[in-house]
Amino acid sequence: MQHDKELQFIFTPEAEPSAEELIQIAAESYPNGSPWSKQAFANDLMDPYAGYGLAIQNGKTIGFIGYRKIYDEAEVTNIAVLNTMKNQGIATRLISAWFEKLKADGVTQIFLEVRQGNQAAIHLYERMGFKSIDKRYSYYTEPVEDAVIMQYTFKNI
């Protein structure tokens, strides 16, 4: 667990988010509402390959990262921070803490998809060292939009 004043980051198995908690944060964070339903989060929480990292401030979850880890690869499934907490470096610090966990777990590379129009997220991922490697056309719905596939490779593994 990492501390930054009242801000802390915890990861599964220590982190035990509820589907309700995740859907509330995602619904507020994404411009078009949560891309996942409450049931999708509930199902994901039961998946042995799925994990979550939580950003907690003063006892309240203010952001999360959802991921899948299989062998030496991880994939981001969701990342969200409450709107009132955005632009404070929380996502950057959450991803950095997550990187440390993944390195300790032997992960060598990470993949994610992001809406092509979500330039703020793309710039965040690029600052964190992700590279655009491909595109999935019409991957997203409501609205239909292409996905940019990005990859991060840990150095010196």
pLDDT tens-digit series, residues 34-92: 889 999 999 999 999 999 999 999 999 999 999 999 999 999 999 999 999 999 999 99
Q: What is the DSSP string of 10-40?
A: EETTT----HHHHHHHHHHHSTTS-SS-HHH
Q: How many Å is the Cα radius of gyration of the chain? A: 15
> What mean pLDDT is predicted for residues 135-142?
91
Express each pLDDT in 99-136 by its tens digit. Answer: 999 999 999 999 999 999 999 999 999 999 999 999 99
Structure pTM?
A: 0.89
Relative to beta strand 109-115, strand 73-81 is parallel
Helix (H) or strand (E) holding 9: strand 7-11
Residue, of 78 and 155, whose pLDDT is higher? 78
Gap between the Cα atoms of 110 and 152, Å rounded: 5
Q: Which residues have a Cβ under 8 Å from the Cβ of 152 and sit 6 or more positions away?
A: 99, 109, 110, 111, 125, 128, 129, 130, 131
113 is annotated as an active-site residue: yes
Catalytic residue (choose from 28, 67, 100, 125): 125
Q: Which residues have a Cβ under 8 Å from the Cβ of 116 and sit 6 or more positions away?
A: 122, 135, 145, 146, 147, 148
Q: What is the DSSP string of 112-155?
A: EEEETT-HHHHHHHHHTT-EEEEEEEEEETTTTEEEEEEEEE-S
> What mean pLDDT is predicted for residues 18-43?
93
Catalytic residue (choose from 67, 113, 140, 152): 113
Model pLDDT, residue 155: 84
| Total of domains in the chain | 1
Model pLDDT, residue 93: 96
CATH of the domain at 33: 3.40.630.30
Model pLDDT, residue 4: 46
Model pLDDT, residue 143: 86
73 is annotated as an active-site residue: no
For residue 130, the enclosing domain spans 2-153
